[in-house]
With several copies, the nearest count.
Chain A
């Protein structure tokens, strides 16, 4: 078991690729993506997927080293400012196959 930072991201599905690129550039060791059924935030409610992905959110879960948090925040903040969404960072202990 190792101390890591647990990072959760909610982002519009159309903008998800940009977040994935940012995470890849940060070199996070893994990523888990789930569909969001509905949600709301500052930009009103998001509930979609029947006709197009235009109003759908995605949920991303990843981890980073405790020392990397500032870099992650610096990288993701501009994306959130432009496209909306949410990042939550918390402490966790990780078990991995290594």
Chain B
């Protein structure tokens, strides 16, 4: 309970409440961007530093491999479920957001572990970085395959002009890979991790007063804004209907539990397992949407952004994190102690 009522989570509630009460409380956009840069830089440096100290062993490689693969594969499963009710492009876009991750959810889980005095490994941060982009490729692939099928069906009943659009698709793959891999959030996270790794103990000592000490306080401010933004987006979902809202909770849970299963199978300790579960179960509302606007301009961003931001994110930080943590304890996973 005490872990649930931590300042960051309470500031998230405060933001949500302020929006619901129609307060004019507002965080400027450039401030939100600053906080976002700060959190990515901080967690990247910390993860890199921990990798430098802890080293990369077989288990680390296994976890990073499983994480990357899940980001590729899970969208195919989510897509199949979503197609039940949605068009191909919207289904592919939502599937992509769920295959990828939410860095803010991750750092909230990190703060949760920190409060509980439980440590975690640097390669979980690396796993987060590795999971950002593959899902984007899968999502676009899914939409292209569906469009191809549709086109072939059309062609069978008419004939003509397919080579031009195939060409069209080819040119855009290049842009897609750039967008997927070189999204600002990915570049900063990976770059900070590499810098943390390369500069090690010495580098960490010189920056930790900025990137570590005030971390949880900054997170409060950012989650206040996330509360404001998430509550505003909930309204967008009224039109989307109960299926999508339900999907945002249930599918987060399904993927989160797959993550728990993977963590148990990989023999992770409780802290690392929680982070893997939350990576699996979280959905992207920053990096993936930015890439999808270009890669899938036909998909409706007023569906896939509000779902990830207004439903799945609050679910994960309020319910998911403590629940997975409890579950992992109940499953007998041991926590490593220390920051």
Contact = CB atoms under 8 A, between A and B. Distances in A.
The number of chain B residues touching the other chain, given as a range, is 20 to 34
A93 interface: no
Interface string B33-73: 10010000000000000000000000000000000000000
Interface in A33-47: 43-45
B24 A50 contact: no
Interface residues of A, number: 15
Contacts of B36: 51
Contact of A53 (B290, B292, B300, B302): B290
Given A14-B290, A14-B293, A82-B297, A54 B27 contact: no
Interface core residue of A49, A50, A82, A83 (most chain B CB under 10 Å): A50
B41 to A, nearest CB: 16
B289 interface: yes
Contacts of A44: 236, 302
Contact of B27 (A15, A43, A50, A52): A50
Contacts of B286: 51-52
Interface core residue of B285, B287, B301, B305 (most chain A CB under 10 Å): B301
Contacts of B27: 50
B305 A55 contact: yes
Contacts of A82: 297
A14 B175 CA distance: 13
Nearest to A37: B29
B12 to A, nearest CB: 14
Contacts of B294: 14-15
A43 B32 CA distance: 25
A54 B225 contact: no
B149 to A, nearest CB: 21
B302 A50 contact: no
B21 to A, nearest CB: 16
Contacts of A51: 32, 36, 229, 285-286, 309
Interface string A43-78: 111000111111100000000000000000000000
Nearest to A56: B29
Contact of A49 (B29, B225, B292, B305): B29
A50 B300 CA distance: 19
B29 A50 contact: yes
A71 B236 CA distance: 30
A53 B185 CA distance: 12
Contacts of B287: 52
A54 B301 contact: yes
A52 B229 contact: no
A54 B303 CA distance: 13
Interface of A: 12, 14-15, 43-45, 49-55, 82-83
Given A14-B293, A15-B293, 16 more contacts: A14-B294, A43-B302, A44-B302, A50-B32, A51-B32, A51-B229, A51-B285, A52-B285, A52-B287, A53-B24, A53-B293, A54-B289, A54-B292, A54-B301, A54-B305, A82-B297
Interface of B: 24, 27, 29, 32-33, 36, 225, 229, 236, 285-287, 289-290, 292-294, 297, 300-302, 305, 309
27 contacts: A14-B290, A14-B293, A15-B293, A15-B294, A44-B236, A44-B302, A49-B29, A49-B33, A50-B27, A50-B29, A50-B33, A50-B225, A50-B229, A51-B32, A51-B285, A51-B286, A52-B285, A52-B286, A52-B289, A53-B24, A53-B290, A54-B289, A54-B290, A54-B292, A54-B301, A55-B289, A83-B297
Report, nearest first, the 4 A-B pairs whose CB atoms are least far apart. Answer: A50-B32, A14-B293, A54-B289, A49-B29
